[in-house]
Chain A
Amino acid sequence: MYVAVKGGEAAIDNAHALLAEARRGDPAVPDLTVAQIREQMTLAVDRVMAEGSLYDPDLAALALKQARGDAVEAIFLVRAFRTTLPRLAHSLPVETGEMRAKRRISATFKDIPGGQILGPTFDYTHRLLDFALLDGETPPAAASAAAGPEAMPRVVDILGREGLIEADRPAPEGAEAGDLTRAPLEFPAGRDVRLQNLARGDEGFVLGLAYSSQRGFGSTHPFAGEIRVGTVEVEIVPEELGFPIVVGRVELTECQMISQFKGSKTQPPQFTRGYGLTFGHNERKAMAMAIVDRSLRADEFDEERRYPAQDEEFVLGHTDNVEASGFLQHLKLPHYVDFQGELVNIRALRRATQSARKQETAE
């Protein structure tokens, strides 16, 4: 517990002015524009949009600038901004099968309809620092090739045709998707709420959980069935119109993890799936999310829940980095009265032990 304190206004004002100066850095170096961050720090922007749970590249870039590049602080700023806006509508579910993909790979099938498309990837780079970037860069134009009209069906549907993989289930009649922005997290959580929680969850935490599950603290042995990155069009049905209209496009990353399932009393042996979907280009996050989604489905497949990544309360209760950071950092607030109490307590305990010892020596 902390108590209110008074005073310090001048110090706080000065600290904030100093913060602004520190953010600006050396004034001899040109000021960074929000457009530069939006265009050239795109993956940082995408992370802020995903975990800030607000698709607005300009605001995410502004938040990164204001937060001096601190992703979690920027996510906090974006979350705070969204609370100022009313909810107008929800979209029709986006159809990722119809995504205009700029990247699409499968680690389970070599030859897939629509092909394996690398897109703009760090994969196969040598991870050597490129000192040429020190002097600024104008890259040569990327190569072009004839783009066919070939459709890109979902890889899981290839297995689905043979019935070897669990099928997607439609929503039960009349069921509305849970919404963490409207109702607090409750357990047991539905898979809809779990996916919302993971989609806005901290990338590092979700990655760590997925990693723990891969290394043996879990029972998933996943294959990356499909990863796709690209844009979809978002449609809503305004009440006054009564038909769906496109409001804009968003870039998404989707991951289908496939893992083996030996079957249970009620289900035949088959492949099961974990699902990851995030705003922006966030492959690591989408893959980790898919593994954790599958881990959290232990009960559905009669798997014993033994590890942290399978424990819904542990996972979902700790993914949110705005909450986590807030609770951790509140320790910086004045706890003077609390601490005085503890101090009195410790002194009393000490006196008690000392006098007990004296008595022992005297005897």
Chain B
Amino acid sequence: MTPELSTPECTAARRRWMRLCALADRAALEAATAEVSGARWLRPPETGLVMVRGRIGGGGAPFNLGEMPVTRCAVALPGGAVGHAYIAGRDAAKARAAALVDALMQDPAHAERLERDLLAPLADALAAADAAADRKTAATRVDFFTMVRGD
């Protein structure tokens, strides 16, 4: 990792874009990284399992709930930036594209374009989809009235 990326602000920024990539469709990531050349794959895509943990009682000690497939990979760009991806599912192409985005975002020459063309629209689309689902959920909110007996 480059030194600048270890500051808390940069870590937060990186966590944001890695999250958006993990939650994005493959097509959007591939379109944004189609032009990249000279990428060297440090770790080709590999699918394995992540054990998902819950908490006993919802807030206590961890327990193992069950697993989910996750695909990871790592890439180095000619400039030296190293990109990583860990994404739910078994899609190797999506993992490759996500790792490229992670590497490109560390390079100021690409970061601005990617933020404008990829990440900001992804964030907006995610927020809009979540908000639409939340509004449908909100329409099913009820008020139960306790009936008074003996009238």
Q: Which residues of A does B touch, CB under 8 Å? A: 49-50, 53-56, 59, 82, 85-97, 100-103, 110, 115-120, 142-148, 154, 156, 168-172, 175, 177-181, 191-193, 195-196, 199-200, 233-234, 236, 238, 240-241, 243-250, 252, 254, 256, 273, 275, 277-279
Q: Is the CB of A247 within 8 A of B49?
A: no
Query: B110 an interface residue at 8 Å Cβ cutoff?
Result: no
Q: How far is the CB of A270 from chain B (nearest CB, A)?
A: 14
Q: Is the CB of B130 within 8 A of A100?
A: yes
Query: B66 an interface residue at 8 Å Cβ cutoff?
Result: yes
Q: Is the CB of B70 within 8 A of A88?
A: yes
Give Cα A236 to B74, complex, Å: 16
Q: Is the CB of B54 within 8 A of A277?
A: yes
Q: Is the CB of B15 within 8 A of A243?
A: yes
Give Cα A148 to B130, complex, Å: 13
21 CB-based A-B contacts, threshold 8 Å: A88-B48, A90-B53, A93-B55, A94-B52, A94-B53, A97-B59, A100-B130, A102-B137, A117-B141, A147-B131, A177-B61, A177-B63, A178-B63, A191-B63, A199-B65, A200-B66, A238-B72, A244-B15, A245-B19, A245-B22, A246-B15
Q: In the complex, what residue of chain A is closest to B66 when comparing beta carbons?
A: A53
Q: Is the CB of A144 within 8 A of B65?
A: no
Q: Is the CB of A154 within 8 A of B59?
A: yes
Q: In the complex, what residue of chain B is closest to A146 when comparing beta carbons?
A: B138
The number of residues on chain B lying at the interface, defined by a beta carbon within 8 Å of a beta carbon of chain A, is 57
Q: Is the CB of B58 within 8 A of A154?
A: yes
Query: B142 an interface residue at 8 Å Cβ cutoff?
Result: yes
Known contacts A55-B66, A110-B146, A168-B59; decide if A118 and B130 are in contact (CB<8 Å).
no
Q: Which residues of B does A touch, CB under 8 Å? A: 1, 11, 14-15, 18-19, 22-23, 46-70, 72, 74, 84, 86-90, 130-144, 146
Considering the complex of A and B, which 10 residue pairs feature the smallest CB-CB distances, nearest first?
A248-B88, A171-B61, A168-B60, A88-B48, A192-B63, A168-B59, A246-B19, A144-B135, A55-B68, A147-B134
Q: Is the CB of A88 within 8 A of B135?
A: no
**Chain B residues whose CB sits within 8 angstroms of the CB of A148 once the complex forms:** 138
Q: In the complex, what residue of chain B is closest to A280 when comparing beta carbons?
A: B66
Known contacts A54-B68, A90-B53; decide if A196 and B63 are in contact (CB<8 Å).
yes
Q: Is the CB of A275 within 8 A of B70?
A: no
**Chain B residues whose CB sits within 8 angstroms of the CB of A100 once the complex forms:** 130, 133-134
Q: How far is the CB of A293 from chain B (nearest CB, A)?
A: 9
Q: Is the CB of B53 within 8 A of A144?
A: no
Give Cα A209 to B1, complex, Å: 52
Q: Is the CB of B138 within 8 A of A145?
A: yes
